[in-house]
Amino acid sequence: MWYYRVRASGAGGDSAWSELQSVAVLPETPVLAAIENDDGDGDYLIDWDDVTEVTSYQVEEADNPEFDSAVVVYDGAASEYQVEGHLTGLWYYRVRASHAGADSPWSDPQSVSVVPDAPVLDAIDNPDGERDYLVDWNDVTGATSYELEEAEDDQFTSPTVVYYPGSPSEYQMTEHEGGLWYYRVRARNAGGASACGRTLSRWA
């Protein structure tokens, strides 16, 4: 914020100063770097370029690109913010710079995905080799659906999705074709898909 006043001068001297007027010069807008989180966990760094002559930065977080109901998660002088243990989902961030009461425009946003943990398949109980059996796994926090794959080999060369999307953490097989079948499951939410849990096989 800059303040100005003016006075007139002549042979008789100087006038009194005028009343003050002020003007705000906004800081430059920071450039927010792409957020790297290849493993999809809840720990990642939000980083942006330094802006000269600013005193602080604010980082906003939202679960939508319009930043409705956004929350300021950082207000400080450093040009980075470390996120740790974040909830699963797809998250959006933007940053602005501040100096002497003047705020820059918000930066272009960046997004990052935090995916659910991999589900763990329970042992498939079908000792008699019947064609009706239950494939069951644990509930995963933050998951909105599950995807169950079936294949005839443990490499899942040509897998078939037998259950998706679905929110219950189980799937009942009925009148299944005979053979040795392999199963794996993963959890999904807005942030994407988890890794697949352990592979289990069952004769039918």
66 within some domain = yes
Do 105 and 42 fall into the same domain? yes
Do 101 and 177 fall into the same domain? no
Do 110 and 55 fall into the same domain? yes
57 within some domain = yes
Q: Tell me how far apart the alpha carbons of residues 5 and 135 are, in angstroms, rounded to a whole number.
A: 79
Do 33 and 109 fall into the same domain? yes
Do 100 and 144 fall into the same domain? no
Do 81 and 35 fall into the same domain? yes
Three-class SS state of 97:
strand
Do 107 and 145 fall into the same domain? no
11 within some domain = no
Three-class SS state of 127:
coil
So what's the pLDDT on residue 30? Answer: 97
* Domain boundary, last residue among 114, 141, 176: 114
9 within some domain = no
So what's the pLDDT on residue 85? Answer: 95
Among candidates 168, 164, 158, which has minimal Cα distance to 193? Answer: 164
Among candidates 198, 170, 173, which has minimal Cα distance to 183? Answer: 198
Do 141 and 96 fall into the same domain? no
pLDDT digits (tens, 9 = 90+) for 21-57: 988 778 999 999 999 999 999 999 999 999 998 999 9
- What are the phi and psi torsion angles at 201 (to 5°)? -120, 160
> In b/e form, how buried is each residue of 188-198, taking b as 16+ CB within 10 angstroms?
bbebbbbebbe
* Residue 56 · residue 76 · CB < 8 Å: yes
CATH number of the domain to which 154 belongs: 2.60.40.10
Q: Tell me how far apart the alpha carbons of residues 80 and 125 are, in angstroms, rounded to a whole number.
A: 51
Do 110 and 151 fall into the same domain? no
Split the chain (204 residues) into runs of 10 and give each run's mean pLDDT.
87 88 87 96 97 95 97 98 96 95 94 95 87 93 93 92 90 89 93 86 71
Establish whether the linkage from the previous residue to 168 is cis, with ω within 30° of 0. Answer: no
55 within some domain = yes
Domain that holds residue 173: 133-203
Give the number of domains in the chain.
2
- 200 Cβ contact partners less than 8 Å away, ≥ 6 residues apart: 121, 123, 124, 182, 183, 184
Do 104 and 33 fall into the same domain? yes
- Cα–Cα distance list, 185 to 3, 38, 44, 163 (Å): 65, 20, 26, 9
Do 71 and 142 fall into the same domain? no
143 within some domain = yes
- In a 13 Å sphere around the CA of 58, the CA atoms on its Cβ side amount to 14
